[in-house]
Amino acid sequence: MPYSTVIFDFDGTLADTLEESRRIYNHLAPEYRLREVSAEELPVLRNFSLLELLDHLDIPKRKVPSLLSRGTSLMRGNITNLPLISGIAEILPELRQRVDSFGILTSNATANVDLFLKAHGLRQHFDFISSTSKLTGKSKHLRAICKTFSVRPESMLYVGDEIRDVKAAKKADVPMAAVTWGFNSADSLRILAPEHLLHTPAELLGLFSEG
């Protein structure tokens, strides 16, 4: 494939943060007068878009920025103990050799991502970490990354695990590799017709020829 730059989402794509995110959400729920989420409910939630999720959990949009900020701050205390997605550590070094640049675009805090990558010995592979405080602001950042690195949108691949990632990539005219090992289900991602739908990290490496 002609991709020279790979941009990764973080939560659910590189880092297995789902259970930690649920724990933090449940910790904050009483303060925000929200109901808690059980582990048994997650399979159903995996089919929802962001707006559907907020509606299902009855979370007012006005509370989302505060929840996101508080949540990322609380995650920092345990971020170095969280696991990588299984199989990611094995493919990243080789994949990095096959492209010109590696980056991360996330709704998490850059400090969290930096700590996590260093804890797993992977920070040196990434040229930059970019964060957006808005859950729906990734398309603007993807376009900015293209401009900053003088990369044509069609030469950049965004790798993410959520419906909102696919929508952001399409809005920015950036090819998308939607991964099914994160938050949203394979069926919910497939409906949006991403350029690639991947079930294992090894499949991501398979998109890039050697040399």
Q: Are residues 12 and 39 in the same domain?
A: no
37 in any annotated domain: yes
Instruction: Answer whether residue 75 is part of any domain.
Output: yes
Q: Enter the tokens of residue 107.
A: 């709704």
Could you read off the pLDDT of 47-101 as tens digits, one per residue? 999 999 999 999 999 999 999 999 999 999 999 999 999 999 999 999 999 999 9
- 174 and 70, same structural domain? no
* CB contact at 8 A, 67 and 74: no
Question: Pick from 167, 165, 199: which is nearest to 180 by CA?
Answer: 199
Would residue 210 count as lying in a domain?
no
Tens-place pLDDT, residues 12-36? 999 999 999 999 999 999 999 999 9
Identify whether residues 115 and 183 lie together within a single domain: yes
3-state secondary structure of 177: strand
Q: Which domain holds residue 181?
A: 5-16+83-205
Domain count, the chain: 2
Is residue 120 domain-resident? yes
**Assigned domain for 113 exists:** yes
89 and 156 both lie in a single domain = yes
Domain shared by 123 and 98, yes or no: yes
Instruction: List the CATH number of the domain containing 150.
Output: 3.40.50.1000
* DSSP label at residue 11: B
